[in-house]
Amino acid sequence: MTDPEALKRDAAAKALTFVEDGMRLGLGTGSTAKHFVDLLAERVQAGLKVVGVPTSEVTRAQAERLGVPLTTLDETPELDITIDGADEIDPALNLIKGGGGALLREKIVAAASGRMIVIADASKRVEALGRFPLPIEVNAFGLGATERAIAKVLEACGCPAPLTLRRKADGHVFVTDGGHMILDAACIRIPDPVQLGARLHSVPGVVEHGLFIGLASCAIIASPGGAEVVGRV
């Protein structure tokens, strides 16, 4: 059996071949993106000149520790490429992201980039989004009312689902870098991700959701047979 971490590293290594000197990069969050930052740091140590915007405090700490130069979207509002992982990828390159809890910053950074390259192993490919619980970032104020409104939207969009308030391993409520909470929706299958995304944005109290629609320009999918590039690099 192929080591999943080896596949993630293969995808990250392939993505690195598209990074050029002088680029402004969005640095993703999660286990696959962590491999990319590790490999990027090796290239930086060898002389590659880039600057990165991290999508989480975890990625910021990793990049700083490894010597990858960082900036902010205030200083550098337009990026060349964001390279990030995904929890699910459908045939149209729509994504579910947010398993690591960084969906808000990940979406802001991806939207500020000319291209978004998604890196993943083959297990993340699906015919329809929804098997992975959809993260929905919410404000703590009025949580009960917000949860009720989200449940109505899910039902109206054909994917009624139980909502679970995300907690850490120690049982405490998970709090995002922005100070919000996350409700995970076990949809199983989302018939129309575009419709659901728009309807969720209309709910007061919803800060952001993990449906990344039309943001990824290509995906690099690693399997035991190699790393396949899907879409336009």
Token pair in block for residue 135: 């993260």
From residue 37, alpha-carbon distances to 16, 44, 77, 190, 194 in Å are 9, 10, 20, 32, 31
Asked whether the predicted pLDDT for residue 2 surpasses 80, the reply is: no
- Tell me the C-alpha distance between 194 and 132, whole Å: 17
pLDDT band, very low/low/confident/very high, at 233 (cuts 50, 70, 90): confident
Q: What is the CB-side half-sphere exposure of residue 157 using CA atoms within 13 A?
A: 24
- Please determine, for residue 1, whether its predicted confidence score (pLDDT) is greater than 50: no
**Which pLDDT tens digit goes with each residue over 54-69?**
999 999 999 999 999 9
CATH number for the segment(s) 134-204: 3.30.70.260
Per-residue pLDDT band for 194 (boundaries 50, 70, 90) equals very high
111 is in an annotated binding site: no
Q: Model's pTM, two decimal places?
A: 0.96
Q: What is the pLDDT of residues 72-110, one digit of tens each?
A: 999 999 999 999 999 999 999 999 999 999 999 999 999
CB 91 within 8 A of CB 118: no
80 is in an annotated binding site: no
Q: Residue range 213-226: average pLDDT?
A: 96
Among 3.40.50.300, 3.40.50.1360, 1.10.3720.10, 3.30.1440.10, what is the CATH number of 4-125+213-231?
3.40.50.1360
Do the annotations mark residue 87 as ligand-binding?
A: yes
Instruction: Indicate the domain borders of the chain.
Output: 4-125+213-231, 134-204
Provide the Cα torsion 219, 98, 88, 50; round to 10°: 10
Q: Say how far apart CA 151 and CA 161 lie, in whole Å.
A: 7
Residues carrying an active site annotation: 106
